[in-house]
Amino acid sequence: MMIPISALIKGGLGRTQDPEQIAVEKEIERYRDRFFFLQDRYQGLIAAFQMLRPMLKNKALRKRFEKERKGRASSLMAIVLLEACILDCYTLLVDGNEDNPSLCTLSRPFRKRSDYAKMLDRLASLYSNRDPLWPEASIVGEFSSKDRENSIRKNQKENAARRAAFWRIAGRIRTDWKRLVEAGDFIRPFRNDVVAHLTVKLDETTNRYGFCELPRLDELCRTVEEILPVITRSVANLAALLVGGGDRLNIFERMAKDDAAIFWGLKSVALRGTSRSRAGSVARQ
């Protein structure tokens, strides 16, 4: 169950005069602020990848480029889009200082739980604790003390279930961290020596300059494609625990697919799926 941002804010900051609690809530607010920068970068990555993907996967599109004598231009565009994906991936994956809004940096509290115990306990409370909802007397009639006790007991069980869900999500963030770091390490040489800088090395045998040892382009493309679902899952999990609304992140990908399909003149799978679901809903009604 996702939590509206408004509910988190109302349930959290500014409601205590305890200095220690104020410090904890300020720390949570700083993490939330950095998350929104990370989310923007994530959207940029998704947009670039969805533009690149048809150029790599769609044979009909590639044939059309060749027929229209756009082969060289499309190859150049594909390289630019791949380099944009590499930069975005690396930026999202590098574990920097506390001001670095990357996935690996923002997942630090969920990996080092003992160092952030108070902050995590407060986040878990914001995520899980709900007051009982009392039915309106004019609708249900008399609400007995037994009914009230049952409602309180049910609410306590639901709060406990949400708290357990919080820690399960925190565990997934911790588990995904290793895969994110490994992908970042694989991408780093190409990002540092080709995209961000141009670094060549003198081969003493041939006395000629060439690139340093780099991963192949097909391996880079495959790595970006394989790590994207993990990045999406980690962003969604962080959204759920920090600000709420992680279940809405798939909207970004659908929009990016539609934009790419329109740009390349392809049929939009996402839109067709939406149309089918709406048609089915109308038919059921």
Q: Look-up: residue for tokens 């630090």?
A: 108
Q: What is the pLDDT of residues 152-202, one digit of tens each?
A: 899 999 999 999 999 999 999 999 999 999 999 999 999 999 999 889 999
Q: Which two tokens stand for residue 73?
A: 């231009």
Task: Please state, in angstroms and rounded to a whole number, the distance separating the CA atoms of residues 35 and 235.
Answer: 9
Q: SS3 for 19-68, per residue?
A: HHHHHHHHHHHHHHHHHHHHHHHHHHHHHHHHHHHHHHHCHHHHHHHHHC
C-alpha dihedral sign at 193, 198, 199, 204: positive
- Angle, helix 19-57 to helix 250-264, in steps of 10 degrees: 30
Cα separation, 196 vs 210, whole angstroms: 17
Q: Report pLDDT digits (tens) over 91-122.
A: 999 988 888 899 999 999 999 999 999 999 99
For 4-18, the pLDDT digits (tens) are 444 444 445 555 568
Give the number of other Cβ atoms within 10 Å of residue 85's Cβ: 27
Q: What is the pLDDT of residue 20?
A: 87
